[in-house]
Amino acid sequence: MRESLKILAIVLAAALAGSCADTLDLDALTKPRYETGRQQGAQLCASCHEETYKQWSQRSRHSQATKSASFRKAVEDLQGNVLLAGLVKESMCYSCHGSKTRDQGVNCETCHGRPLAGVPIETTHERKYTPRLATMRKPNFCAKCHEVKAPITGDSFMSLHSEWKQSEAAARGLTCQRCHMAKRADDTHSYHGFDTAVRDISIYRGDLRISNIVVDPPGMRLTLENRVKGHSVPASGPTRVLALEVALNSGDGEVLHREHRTFSKRFSMLPVIGGVPLWLTDNSQLASGEKRRLRFAFPEYEFARSEKLIIILRMYEVADQHQGDVGKAHWKSKPIVRRVIKTK
């Protein structure tokens, strides 16, 4: 029986690969978006760029790109999967997440390139690194990894660059680097902590807003607004989930009723493949500049007993196979917004 399933999986893989060969270059998905070869490691740069190294190693998600729970789970799902072995390689994951042999995630050499062989590092700066900076300051440089299509189908897995091109930020000439790598007061280089919501949720405070709250027994209406100028929120694939939690509480603090509204991309999974997103089935992300009106209807008995309504907006991170299920999140942020409303 087990061998029959393997044969079926291989046949299905071949059929899928053939059906999408004209629309999606699967080989291209497994090619690194950076220079290949043996990396010397970020510590080499730290000897001269100590503060930049600290920012990258201590604050950036780039440094954790091969260590995050979501990434490790995705790689685990790929390993030993017969169908996937016939379609894509494990290197597809590392094509953006960094070197497999040097577990430093997206490090200095990933973006800036490897040092030239046989010459002092100063020569590499003069001939290679400095001339390359103009290209690295453009949004399409980030798009190499932050504009990603799902394997097989080509559906948009991550669409940050496309979203940016249609945003207010693009119209005003504000780049990805302008927001996420802006120099701090004492910096000599661009900030390499790469501010993101997972590292510092405070970057969304003021940009994600809850307003126009109207209690209409036994329910409520409110407006959720995304004022982030450059992209949708959450700014990722299905692993990042924005959730609005609403809870009815009694006077002594007992939670009488709780529910979540989640906002994210969701993909269907081919059963034989397992935890690999294929077809985009739903996209409830908040677009840049969007104001979304939401309605809640609570159980009448619990609402009648309640004295206050607690509203919390926060970000979660989940594995691909737990899309939208914040109960299985391996990380959650502190509240971005918190409101307490009296119901009586």
Tell me what pLDDT residue 203 has. 78
- Rounded Cα distance between 247 and 254, Å, is 10
Name the β-bridge partners of 342.
308
Q: What is the mean pLDDT of residues 112-123?
A: 91
pLDDT at 6 over 70: no
Q: For residue 28, what are the contacts with CB-CB under 8 A and spacing of at least 6?
A: none
Q: Compute how many other C-beta atoms are within 10 angstroms of the C-beta atom of residue 22.
A: 7
Tell me what pLDDT residue 250 has. 96
Tell me what pLDDT residue 295 has. 97
Beta strand spans in the chain (E): 147-149, 156-159, 208-216, 219-226, 240-249, 255-263, 265-269, 277-283, 291-297, 308-317, 331-332, 337-342
Query: How many residues appear in the chain?
Result: 344
pLDDT-based confidence at 24, cuts 50/70/90? very low
Q: What is the mean pLDDT of residues 96-121?
A: 86
pLDDT at 275 over 60: no
* pLDDT tens, position by position, 161-203: 999 999 999 999 999 999 899 887 777 889 998 877 666 777 7
Tell me what pLDDT residue 8 has. 43
Q: What is the mean pLDDT of residues 13-27?
A: 45
3-state secondary structure of 313: strand
pLDDT at 41 over 90: no
For residue 191, give the DSSP letter. Answer: -
- Rounded Cα distance between 196 and 200, Å, is 6
pLDDT at 38 over 80: no
Which tokens in the block code for residue 180?
């996420």
Cα dihedral sign, 333-335-337-341: positive
Global pTM value: 0.84
Percent of the chain with pLDDT over 90: 52
Among the listed residues 139, 135, 180, the one whose alpha carbon sits nearest the alpha carbon of residue 159: 139
For residue 335, give the DSSP letter. Answer: P
Name the β-bridge partners of 297.
219
Tell me what pLDDT residue 135 has. 93
Q: What is the DSSP string of 196-230?
A: -TTT-GGGGBTTEEEEEEEEETTEEEEEEEE--SS
More confidently predicted of 47 and 247:
247
What amino acid is encoded at 82 in this protein?
A: V
Q: What's the mean per-residue pLDDT of the chain?
A: 84
Among the listed residues 198, 285, 158, 176, the one whose alpha carbon sits nearest the alpha carbon of residue 233: 285
Tell me what pLDDT residue 227 has. 95
Tell me what pLDDT residue 32 has. 64
**Which domains does the chain possess?**
2-143 (no CATH), 201-342 (2.60.40.10)
Q: Compute how many other C-beta atoms are within 10 angstroms of the C-beta atom of residue 88.
A: 22
pLDDT at 290 over 90: yes
* pLDDT tens, position by position, 51-87: 999 999 998 989 988 888 778 877 777 776 766 656 6
